[in-house]
Amino acid sequence: MPVRKSATRLTQEERDSLLAAVVRMKANITNPDVQEENQISVFDQFEAVHLACLNVKVPDGSNVNMGHQGPAFLPWHREFLLWFENELVAHGSSIGLPYWDWTDHEGTNTKLFTDEYLGARDGEIQRGYFAYHAPETDSNSFSKPEWWPDTLEGWRIKESLSHEFGTTLRREYIDRPLAVPEDVRRTMARNTYEDRGTMIETDPVTGRQVRQPRGFRNRLELGNRMHNFGHGWVGGHMGHPYTSPNDLIFFFHHCNIDRLWAEWQKNGHEGIAYYPSDSSGEDEGHKLNDPMWPWVGDALGYVPSKLFEDAPTPDFSSSNVRTAADVMDMSSLGYVYE
Ligand SMILES: [Cu+2]
C-alpha cells in the first residue's frame, strides 16, 4: 500500500527512489514508433490529459472544465493522482506520492526547492534533475546520479505542451507568505462541500477584511493561500492551468489538497451525502455518478477541445469508467497519508 508522506520529510533514500522513478517516467516514451514530435512520455501524458480536461465537449453538447471550478475538482484530481502514483510505483518508487505541506515554510524553502530535489525557484531551472540539460552536461554541473536514465538528455518540455513558458521548466520567485495553519483550519471548518456564496472575515496574515468562499471545495480551490495561490506562488509553468503538470511540484501540491479533503471527510463529512447529487444541477462530469473524462470508457459524445494541435493524449477507451462516487471513500483506493 503506497504511503504518502510530507515531501519535506522524506529520507534521502526515499527521495532518490521517488526522483529516479520520475525521471524514468520522463524517459519512458509510450509511442516510440510515431514521428518524434508526436511522441509522448509517461510523465508528459499527465500534462496532456490535464490540458485537455480544461475544455471537454460532453454528451449534452455543453463544454465543461472537467477538473476545476466545480465539485469534481477534488474527485477528478484524486483519480488523476492515483494514476500518477501507480506509474511512480511501476517505475520503481519505494514510496507513494508525497504531499507539499504549505504550512512547512522552512522545509519548502530549504529542502524542496533545492538542486538536489525540485530545483530552484528563480526563473529557468539550470541545475539539478529538472534542468534542460541532464546533470553533468552543458551548463548543469550538478553531479549525475547512477540512476539517471541513459536516454534522458534533460528535463525538456514538449513545444506543444509548453504554451508561452518555453521548453525549459521555469518558476518565478515571489515574495508572498505561504499558508499558515489558521488558513487551513478555516478551510477545514467549512461544513458544506459545495457553496458558491462568500463570507467576509479578517485575513489571518494581512489583518485585512477579505471575502472568502463559503463551501469547502470552493475555499480549498480558490481561497486565500490555498490551491490557486500555491500554483501562483511557484509560478512559471506551474502558474498556468495549461502547463502546471510539467512541474513535479504540481503533484505534491494536489496531493496536499487530496490529503486535506481526506481529513475533512474523516472529520464528519464522509460519503456521498457530502457531494452534489445527480439531481443537483451541477455541470455534467461534476455530479456524483457522472463519468469524469478521460475515464469514460468507450462512451461516445466526449470530445476534448484541441487547445493545441499535436498535443497527443493517451487512449482511455479500454479503461474503466470513473465517477466521483468511485473515489469518495479513500480507504478503498489503497493509499494512506502519514
Ligand atoms: Cu491545481
What's the CA-to-centroid distance between 311 and ligand 1, angstroms?
A: 20
What's the CA-to-centroid distance between 231 and ligand 1, angstroms?
A: 7
What's the CA-to-centroid distance between 253 and ligand 1, angstroms?
A: 7
How many separate domains does the chain show?
1
> What count of other Cβ atoms lies within 10 Å of the Cβ of residue 176?
9
What's the CA-to-centroid distance between 186 and ligand 1, angstroms?
A: 20
Structural domain includes residue 224: yes
User: CATH number, domain at 60?
Assistant: 1.10.1280.10
Structural domain includes residue 90: yes
pLDDT, mean of each 10-residue run, the chain (338 residues): 95 97 97 90 96 94 96 98 97 97 97 98 97 97 97 96 95 94 98 97 97 98 98 98 97 98 97 96 97 93 76 83 96 94
Structural domain includes residue 207: yes
Dihedral sign for Cα 97, 28, 43, 283, please.
negative
3-state secondary structure of 265: helix
* Structural contact between residues 135 and 128, judged by C-beta atoms closer than 8 angstroms: yes
What's the CA-to-centroid distance between 146 and ligand 1, angstroms?
A: 32
pLDDT, residue 312, reads 76
DSSP code per residue over 203-238: -TTT--EEEEESSHHHHHHHSTTSHHHHHHHH-GGG
What's the CA-to-centroid distance between 226 and ligand 1, angstroms?
A: 10
- Cell numbers at 264, concatenated: 475533512
Structural domain includes residue 107: no
pLDDT, residue 310, reads 63
End-to-end CA distance of the chain: 12
- Cell numbers at 252, concatenated: 505534491
Total number of residues shown for the chain: 338
What's the CA-to-centroid distance between 228 and ligand 1, angstroms?
A: 7
What's the CA-to-centroid distance between 51 and ligand 1, angstroms?
A: 11
What's the CA-to-centroid distance between 193 and ligand 1, angstroms?
A: 18
| Residues 6+ positions from 56 with CB-CB distance below 8 Å | 63, 64, 65, 66, 285, 293, 302, 303, 304, 305
What's the CA-to-centroid distance between 52 and ligand 1, angstroms?
A: 14
Structural domain includes residue 105: no
pLDDT, residue 259, reads 98
Structural domain includes residue 114: no
pLDDT, residue 174, reads 85
Alpha-carbon dihedral 296, 320, 259, 91, rounded to 10 degrees:
-120
Structural domain includes residue 253: yes
Domain with 71, as residue range(s), is: 3-100+178-233+241-337
Structural domain includes residue 67: yes
- Cell numbers at 133, concatenated: 540539460
What's the CA-to-centroid distance between 35 and ligand 1, angstroms?
A: 31
